[in-house]
Amino acid sequence: MLSFKVIELSDKPWVERLLRISDFRGCEYCFANNMAWRRMYNTKITRYKDFYISCSETDGLYFTFPAGGGDYKEVFEEMKKYSESRGYPLVIGSVTPDKFGLFEELFPKDSYDIEADEDGWDYVYSVSDLAELKGKKYHGKRNHLKKLLAMDYSYEPLTEKDFDDCISYAVQTYNRDSAYDDKSKVCEQFAINTYFENFDALGLTGGVLRVDGKIAAFTIGERINSDTLGVHIEKAEASLDGAYPAINQMFAASAGKGFSYINREEDLGIEGLRKAKRSYHPAFMIEKHTVRFK
């Protein structure tokens, strides 16, 4: 029977070794993201042979499609046993269309349903598109960026000397939004603190934008796979015209070297966030689905 535990920094070597086997591009397939956001859905992890498995528990059990390699039939059966021992059917999320054939091969078609999880689809962009903002489709972004570039600004890769200022800025935005009763905002603060407390150990990268010497924006990211950089946190002063386009463009130009793509994660079904992410013209979406066994 599978046995799950809370993810800890000491798990990083074996988890990342198994993640590299799959080389998945989804934002849920990177160690720091899993560790930082574990409170959001009460997520725990386990290893089954050469598979890395995460399981969340909120009104039922929900597995992420396992990363690693080996006998999928065997690992799915172990996941199924665990779910049923807890009184739930097996539910597997983050299933991309290229995995549909695997389920068809291993299980009768009438034994499960597949549902699209469009609010959880990741937006993946070309690094060169975000870094250069070339062409007519980015005309508006360049105009906003020019306004900020005319100010007294500075951009630098995020280092320890910036941590306190960035944490203070994040707390200010949290308090300003009166986010105490918003679980996602509370968990975001926990994630931000986790990132800063373990920045080097987690292998994170980031950028900080200052205007008139004060924090205007900061971002934190992580390598997801062999060709994709993920953006986990992006905070910017919305009232400062050009702050969001600037931190986006400058981070892509600085940290994106050596990568082909940048994954800016999902829109969670939030209309304003969806509009903003689409306005940067993703190269493609990572289409995620949920497989629910009957």
Query: In the predicted model, is pLDDT for residue 55 greater than 90?
Result: yes
Read off the pLDDT of each residue in 142-164 and give the average, rounded to a whole number. 97
Could you read off the pLDDT of 91-136 as tens digits, one per residue?
Answer: 999 999 999 999 999 999 999 999 999 999 999 999 999 999 999 9
All domains of the chain, ordered by start, with CATH? 9-120 (3.40.630.30), 122-265 (3.40.630.30)
pLDDT at 5: 98
pLDDT at 247: 98
- pTM of the predicted model as reported, rounded to 2 decimal places: 0.96
Give dist(CA 237, CA 218) in Å, integer: 10
Match 């707390």 to its residue by tokens: 171
Q: State the chain's maximal CA–CA distance in angstroms.
A: 63
pLDDT tier for residue 212 given thresholds of 50, 70 and 90: very high
Could you read off the pLDDT of 258-268 as tens digits, one per residue?
Answer: 999 999 999 99
Higher pLDDT, 179 or 241: 241
Query: In the predicted model, is pLDDT for residue 286 greater than 90?
Result: yes
pLDDT tier for residue 23 given thresholds of 50, 70 and 90: very high
Read off the pLDDT of each residue in 163-168 and give the average, rounded to a whole number. 97
Q: Give the tokens for residue 133.
A: 């903002």
- Who contacts 131 (Cβ-Cβ below 8 Å, separation ≥6)? 249, 252, 253, 256
Give dist(CA 135, CA 179) in Å, integer: 38
Q: Kindly state the helix (H) or strand (E) to which residue 68 belongs, with its residue range.
A: strand 67-68
Higher pLDDT, 17 or 59: 17
